[in-house]
A = this chain, B = another copy of it.
Amino acid sequence: MPQKILVIGGVALGPKAACRCKRLLPDAEVTLIDENVNISYGGCGIPYYVSGEVNTVNDLRATPYNVIRDPKFFAELKDVTVRIQTRATAIDRAAKLVRVKNVVTGEEDTLSYDKLVLATGASPRVPPVEGHDLGNVLSLTRLEAAETIRHACENGSVKEAVVVGGGFIGLEAAVALADMWGVKVSVVEMMDQILPGVLSAQLARMAAVDCTKHNTDVYTGEKVLRLEGKDGKVCKVVTDKREIEAQLVIFAAGFTPNGQLAKDAGLDVTPFGAITVNEYMQTSDPDIYAGGDCVSIPNLITGKPGYLPLGSMANRQGRVIGTNLAGGKATFPGYVGTWIVKLFDMSFCGVGLTIDKARKEGFDAVSVSVEQVDRAHFYPEKELMSLEIVVDKASRRVLGMQGACTAGDALKARIDAVAGALQFAKPTVDDISNLEISYAPPFAGAMDVVNVVANVADNVLAGRFTPITADKFMELWQNRADNNVFFIDARPAKAGKAVQEQYPDWHSIPLEEIRARVNEVPKDRPVALICNTGLRAYDTLLVLARHGVTDLCNSMGGMQAVMKMGLKP
């Protein structure tokens, strides 16, 4: 008797598991069911369809070689049976049966299985606010919603839009609307920063500046209270701080794993509703596998169960499940949390824990950031990159790294190199100081920014200098009437003098002049240093320290970081 494989869910993981299994076990009877019409589509591409960068919905449904992945495709080329518009309503594990229902006809049926795969995905979280069911209030997870939004943009009926949630999808949607359609967008985020949980406050501030520069207002620490409508369509968003006109509202406030079917069948699920799986992606019933947005997998940094709903995770897990359905022993050990997002001019990327998350997880952690160009400083084409490293103080273990750059691929290269290390080891600051990335002047610095940020962390851990973030520096500066800080701008005279003319307390002492003018610096006051990126200030600090000035702090990332955060003296 051929094995019967049944897969519930047909977006990313389901088709991958089904086809992989079928390839390894050509005699198996593989059936995939999904309650929707569209299956096997690139859900992560939806914002790019909304923006118009992806031309048609079918581009998201096609293979790289341009064949639509519909039930016929799976039948003819993959020998996998697909039943669309078919919802699984219950699993009888004892009898190995799944109860299904056609969502159009209501017809019910029972499918038997030898091995079952749950690829039920996740549902967008829609806050239960008044008006959430109005027209033009959508989540960005279904192709149908994407078509509605794109159509509304194309016919010009959207002048203003509100995105609720400043995470990846929310911001990608905001970029699509503002950048490509000229819509005035407001992002409303409950937390006190955008990209919460994945960026530090400082880097998130840079992300917000990138948004506000591009017709996109960012309101953080703000809650949507209700939506108001007109003729059944949304026309206004009311928050706890303001009212915003909007002809379109996109909810992007996170996801809830679809674990109910599993839970009802008595399978283990986490308190937040994700299905529990082992490293073979098996649920608590070894004949039932699960993966993708509906499961919890270990966070390899904390060692605790975690949740990372990403299309790339689903694809890789799908292959593991397919192998194991066919009798293999493939494993998926967990995740380190690598991500990237393209906003307007800037891209942001990260891996592992942010400083806030690290502290929440109980680490005695510190974070250090730098601004440095992404290739040899003498190479003509280069971009300034911000990198922040998060480190456990006692063990020197690197817990995460995040960054920002206009050159997204270059940023990705640094973060992914660290991700490669984090997945297989517990690298220390010293390991990242020595991290061997590929080097040639058009692509990296001889002492590359990814090494430098670790070097700076090493110096900070050793107490060799006291770093402050650029926004903290500006806070000190704004409060200079109340503190006794002496401010030094170590940039070339031209840059520093311009500020000093306006504010005499801003002391322009270029690095080149510091030895001659060292006596201008008081030894009995705290001294705060700034320059363009941090390097001149560091060299100035070394000279001052040799001359007995000891209470020194250096602004990380210098004026470049100040400007990226939208601040000024």
User: Which residues of A are in contact with B by a Cβ distance under 8 Å?
Assistant: 12, 16, 23-24, 26, 42, 44-45, 48, 53-54, 59-60, 62-67, 76-79, 168, 172, 310-316, 319-320, 330-333, 335-336, 338-342, 347, 349-351, 372-373, 376-380, 407-410, 412-425, 427, 430-431, 433-448, 451, 455, 464, 492, 511-512, 514-515, 531-533, 535-536, 539, 542-543, 545-546
Contacts and interface: CB of A to CB of B under 8 A. Distances in A.
A64 B535 contact: yes
A378 B433 contact: no
Contacts of A443: 340, 342, 347, 408-409, 412
A443 B444 CA distance: 19
20 contacts: A26-B545, A63-B377, A64-B373, A64-B377, A64-B535, A65-B511, A65-B535, A67-B512, A168-B440, A311-B446, A316-B436, A339-B438, A347-B442, A349-B438, A409-B409, A412-B413, A415-B438, A420-B422, A423-B431, A424-B427
Given A65-B536, A349-B438, A412-B443, 18 more contacts: A42-B441, A54-B379, A62-B378, A77-B539, A77-B542, A312-B436, A312-B437, A312-B445, A312-B447, A315-B451, A330-B430, A342-B442, A409-B409, A409-B443, A417-B419, A419-B437, A420-B435, A424-B424
A441 B380 contact: no
A442 to B, nearest CB: 5
A282 B531 CA distance: 36
B511 A67 contact: yes
A532 B310 contact: no
A446 to B, nearest CB: 4
Contacts of A422: 420
Contact of A339 (B23, B351, B440): B440
A410 B410 CA distance: 7
A48, A349, A417, most chain B CB atoms within 10 A: A417
A443 B45 CA distance: 12
A250 to B, nearest CB: 17
